[in-house]
Amino acid sequence: MENKKEMRAWLDDMNLDHPLVVAGPCSAETEEQVLKIAHELKDTDVNYFRAGIWKPRTRPGMFEGVGALGLKWLQKVKKETGMKVCTEVANATHVKLALEHDIDMLWVGARSTVSPFIMQEIADALQGTDKPVLIKNPVNPDLALWLGGIERIYSSGVKNIGAIHRGFSTYEKSKYRNNPEWQLAIEFQNKFPDIPLINDPSHITGKRDMVFDISQAALDLNFDGLMIETHYDPDNAWSDAAQQVTPSSLVQIMRDLKIRKETDAEVEYQNALNNLRAKIDVIDNQIIGLLGNRMVASDGIGALKKKKNVAVLQSKRWNEILGKMVLEGQDHGLSEEFILKMFKAIHQESINHQEKIING
Ligand SMILES: O=C(O)C(=O)C[C@]1(C(=O)O)C=C[C@@H](O)C=C1
């Protein structure tokens, strides 16, 4: 699949003066609930009203959505508010029913994107539709799998396409429900700059008080839109209670978000920017030079270890280095998270060098 301008035509044609906003409850619960939220979102920046009707849940016995009945409620939302509507589809039957009920946009969830068989089934059922289809990232941080899923949908003739970044599952404890792994989203944009990329801060954070910060971070990284779960009584929602915001909070979030432009042509700005970028280029070259020197020293240690038959991994020494560097980093305004990531990568490279020497 190649990047093509046509992939973003559906969004460009909307001529929005703000990021695309998709909002509405995690789950459609009752007709009254759906309509009440829709009416509260009616005269806001919201472009698409969302509600899940088929809910993939981690464990059986949890609320799995109202099913096809909810499609009628979404039709009512359209009729009463004029808002476009969207929902998640997870198999060919869902697609068929959603298209029959003229749902304006569909999305494929993270638990479906992981499965090439399901993606192919959904792609076949979507064949030829002109409705926009958004594909969420798979639960695991695998860019190729995400792009493969999008390619299946695109290859079946769906030209109005988009992607939703909802973060990635981790075993490790984290302040996020799903780790954003922003680098992966940046790589996505580098490869496919014309696939509209929508951020889902609700699933990334799992907590409503973090939704604003993640939304702002996404806009700062040139995301095209936001999907934010919204409920008039979040605490009593039937699913994902902790992460939903009220319609009035959503309006406030949209008001407070800063939308930044791509660049500024002013000469003074351009000159100052170029000066600082020249500095960064010099420093980056120095960093590479220093890392190269470090590996030469490591190669020397590798040769010594080979002679004396000593193991490559020296945990005590390594932990001392990590501890020292975290403290050193603090003095230079560098976060512990960054220092640990960087030094773990350096350590691995050092080990690879020594492995080559010892086994060479
Ligand atoms: O000090 C050592 O023994 C090394 O081999 C160097 C080094 C490092 O790169 O800093 C590499 C591997 C060890 O696990 C510990 C440290």
Q: What is the ipTM of this complex?
A: 0.98
Q: Residue 226: which H helix or E strand, with range?
A: strand 225-229
CA of 295 to the centre of ligand 1 (A): 10
Ligand 1 pocket, CB under 6 A: 298, 301, 312-314, 317-318, 321, 347, 350-351, 354
Name the residue among 279, 296, 219 with its Cα closest to residue 253: 219
CA of 352 to the centre of ligand 1 (A): 11
> Ligand 1: which atom is nearest the Cα of residue 315?
14
DSSP assigned state of 179 = B
> Ligand 1: which atom is nearest the Cα of residue 354?
5
CA of 297 to the centre of ligand 1 (A): 10
> Ligand 1: which atom is nearest the Cα of residue 350?
9
The pLDDT of residue 261 is 83
> Ligand 1: which atom is nearest the Cα of residue 317?
15
Give the residue whose CA is nearest to atom 3 of ligand 1: 314
Burial class (CB in 10 A: 0-12, 13-18, 19+), 105: buried
CA of 310 to the centre of ligand 1 (A): 12
CA of 294 to the centre of ligand 1 (A): 10
- Choose one of 296, 318, 321, 343 to mutate for the ligand 1 pocket test, by most ligand atoms within 8 angstroms of C-beta: 318
CA of 173 to the centre of ligand 1 (A): 28
The pLDDT of residue 64 is 85
The pLDDT of residue 300 is 98
The pLDDT of residue 6 is 93
Helix/strand/coil for 87:
strand
Give the residue whose CA is nearest to atom 2 of ligand 1: 314
Provide the CATH topology of domain 5-256: TIM Barrel (3.20.20)
CA of 308 to the centre of ligand 1 (A): 15
The pLDDT of residue 16 is 96
Contact between 233 and 248 (Cβ < 8 Å): no
Block mean pLDDT (10 aa), the chain, length 360 = 94 96 97 97 96 86 89 97 97 96 98 97 96 98 97 96 96 90 96 97 96 97 97 93 95 95 92 98 98 98 97 97 97 96 97 95
Q: How far apart are CA 116 and CA 118, in angstroms?
A: 6
CA dihedral 112, 198, 145, 207 (to 10 degrees): -60
The pLDDT of residue 58 is 78
267-358 is a CATH 3.40.50.300 domain: no
The tally of CA atoms less than 13 A away on the side-chain side of residue 29 is: 20
**Residues 6+ positions from 6 with CB-CB distance below 8 Å:** 159, 194
Q: Model pTM?
A: 0.85
> Ligand 1: which atom is nearest the Cα of residue 302?
5
**Residues 6+ positions from 38 with CB-CB distance below 8 Å:** 24, 49, 77, 80, 81, 83
User: Could you tell me the residue ranges of all domains in the chain?
Assistant: 5-256, 267-358
CA of 317 to the centre of ligand 1 (A): 7
